[in-house]
Structure 1
Amino acid sequence: MNETDVVRALGALAQETRLRIFRMLVVAGSKGVLPGRMAEELGTSPTAISFHLKELVHAGLASSERDGRHLIYRANFAQMNGLLGFLTAHCCEGQPCEVNSVACDPC
């Protein structure tokens, strides 16, 4: 994953509704979620859901698959893991991090 991909992914997640949608997709796992269900659970319009899903798909964080008349959306776990890997690649200068401490520095 390069910096451009990381910026695009973080930009997509830097919006409350999109973050909630992405978390919903992650929880759903491989079975995915229909946009109508997302709209119901998040209390927003299907149009807004479609807009936000488009941004997540563009960032590579989600994908869609047609099942008859329905589109099922799923989280792209490879992209998510790539983002997490990029953000933590040089954590603690390669040493194991201990996050049990209250201090700001996890190392």
Structure 2
Amino acid sequence: MHEAQTISALGALAHAQRLRTFRALVIAGPIGLTPSTLADQLQIARNAMSFHLKELAHADLVSVEQRGRHLIYRANFGQMDKLIGYLTEHCCQGSDCSPAPASSTPRVTDVSTTLHTPSSLTSPVSPTSCCKPDS
């Protein structure tokens, strides 16, 4: 991933509603969701959801497929992996990163409180089932 792509992706995610939308699509996995389902679940106006999905698609963070009369949006897990890879490349200058002290940053274990979304969007998705290519 190049710097310009990284800036585009981070810029797209730098809006609360787009970040929640992207996270909802990550949770949905390869099945994806329609814009109306996303709008209803995240309590975002449908026209605003359409705008946010276009911004995420422009940054290549989501893909869209026409299925009959419906559009199905999915998180682009390959692009997400590239973004994470770019951000963590050469982490700790190549040396082993020591884990952060347990008291330095509290861990969030209940994503429903951070997403402010219905519980239907907070079920975990195993990265091995949808995000990683088969080995």
TM-score range, shorter chain: over 0.9
* Structure 1 residue 91: Cα displacement: 0.5
How high is the sequence identity, in percent, across the aligned residues?
A: 53
* CA deviation string 1:27-46 (max 9, x = no partner): 01100011111111111111
Letter paired with 1:51: F
* Structure 1 residue 100: Cα displacement: 3.5
SS of residue matched to 1:71: strand
* Equivalent residue pairs, number: 104
SS of residue matched to 2:44: coil
Match of residue 90 from structure 1: 90
Q: Which 5+ residue runs of structure 1 have no aligned equivalent? A: none
Question: Partners in 2 of 1:48 and 1:99 — Cα distance?
Answer: 40
Letter paired with 2:58: H
Question: Partners in 2 of 1:9 and 1:47 — Cα distance?
Answer: 21
Question: Partners in 2 of 1:71 and 1:27 — Cα distance?
Answer: 18
TM-score with structure 1 length normalisation?
0.92
Match of residue 77 from structure 1: 77
Q: Which 5+ residue runs of structure 2 have no aligned equivalent? A: 106-135
Question: Which aligned runs of 4 or more in structure 1 are off by greater than 4 angstroms?
Answer: none
SS of residue matched to 1:41: helix
Question: Aligned Cα RMSD in Å?
Answer: 1.3
1:27 corresponds to 2:48: no
Question: Partners in 2 of 1:56 and 1:81 — Cα distance?
Answer: 15
